[in-house]
Amino acid sequence: MFFLIILLLIILFIAFKTIKVVKQSEVYIIERLGKFHKVAEAGLTIIVPFVDRVRSVVSLKQQTMDIPPQGVITKDNVTITIDTVVFYQITDPAKAVYEIQSLKKGIEYLAITTIRDIVGKMDLDETFSSRDGINQKLRVSNRQMGM
């Protein structure tokens, strides 16, 4: 009897390690023996216990990040301070996990340098009246960079 209880516990433990349920709007990055194996999408996923492991759970929801105010110099050599909120959504989870050390820092630096580039080509009056234009240029620039 004791042997059957131990066997049942081992089977439950292996089943727990094998069966993963991925929630909607999330993906699991699965590694096999320390190397990227696959991206598990929403639903039931079977992994090989003790060989595969869930490296990361990545949210596919749109997220926001508040960037501290930045000093930017316009074309007519005036320094202005810009407050920025970045909305982003991960489209390639494997790259978000493996190809950058700190995703949030990368997004922040990319947004800051792009804003400085765009505003640096504008006059002071133009920056106050063209918020939508700046947003549009940021979207186009970030699509070209793969964000």
Task: Identify the band that residue 141 occupies on the pLDDT scale cut at 50, 70 and 90.
Answer: low
- Cα 100 to the center of its chain, rounded Å: 10
Range with the poorest average pLDDT among 1-10, 20-29, 31-40: 1-10
pLDDT digits (tens, 9 = 90+) for 53-105: 999 999 999 999 999 998 888 888 888 898 888 888 999 999 999 999 999 99
Q: Where are the domains of the chain?
A: 2-59, 63-144
The CATH architecture assigned to 63-144 reads: 2-Layer Sandwich (3.30)
* pLDDT value of residue 57: 96
DSSP 59-77: E-S-EEEEEEEEEEE-TTS
Q: Alpha-carbon dihedral of residues 112, 118, 119, 124, nearest 10 degrees?
A: -170
pLDDT of 144 over the 70 cut? no
* pLDDT value of residue 56: 95
